[in-house]
Amino acid sequence: MSGWARAHPRKAAAAKTALAAVLLFLVGVESVVLTQQPTRPHAIVVAAAVVVCLCAVPYRRIPLTLRARIAVAVSLTASAVLIAGQHALRVWGLGEGIALLVLLTAVVRRAPGRTAAVLGPLLGLSCVLAPMRDIRMGVFTVVYGVLTVVVTAYSLILRWQDAGRLRDLAAVRDAERLELARELHDLVAHHVTGIVVQARAARFTALDGPRAGDAFARIETSGGEALGAMRRLVRVLREGEARTTPVAGLAEVRALAEAFTRTGPPVTLDLEPGLDRALPPEVAAAVHRIVREALTNVRKHAADATAVRITVHTVPRGTELRIANDGGTPARLAEAARGGGFGLAGLTERAEALGGTLTAGPAPEGGWEVTAVLPASDPAGD
Number of separate helices (H) and strands (E) present in the chain: 13, 5
Residues 6+ apart with CB under 8 A from 140: 92, 131, 134
Query: What is the tens place of the pLDDT at every residue in 216-226?
Result: 677 767 676 66
Residue 3, pLDDT > 60, answer: no
Question: Among residues of the chain, what percentage have pLDDT more than 70?
Answer: 67
Nearest to 89 by CA among 166, 30, 151: 30
The structure's pTM equals 0.47
- Which H/E stretch holds residue 123? helix 113-129
Give pLDDT, residue 137: 66
- Which H/E stretch holds residue 18? helix 9-34
- Separation in Å, CA 321 to CA 118, 305, 354, 364, 371: 61, 19, 14, 16, 6
- The pLDDT confidence band at residue 201, using thresholds 50, 70 and 90, is low
Q: What is the mean pLDDT of residues 161-175?
A: 75
What is the overall mean pLDDT for the chain?
Answer: 75
The amino acid present at 291, given as its one-letter code, is: V
Query: What is the tens place of the pLDDT at every residue in 109-166?
Result: 888 888 889 988 999 898 888 878 776 666 777 887 888 889 889 989 988 988 887 7
Give pLDDT, residue 36: 64
Q: What is the mean pLDDT of residues 2-12?
A: 59
- The pLDDT confidence band at residue 336, using thresholds 50, 70 and 90, is very low
Least confident range from 130-144, 288-302, 333-347, 353-367: namely 333-347
Sequential DSSP letters for 292-316: HHHHHHHHHH-TT---EEEEEEEET
Q: What is the mean pLDDT of residues 189-198?
A: 69
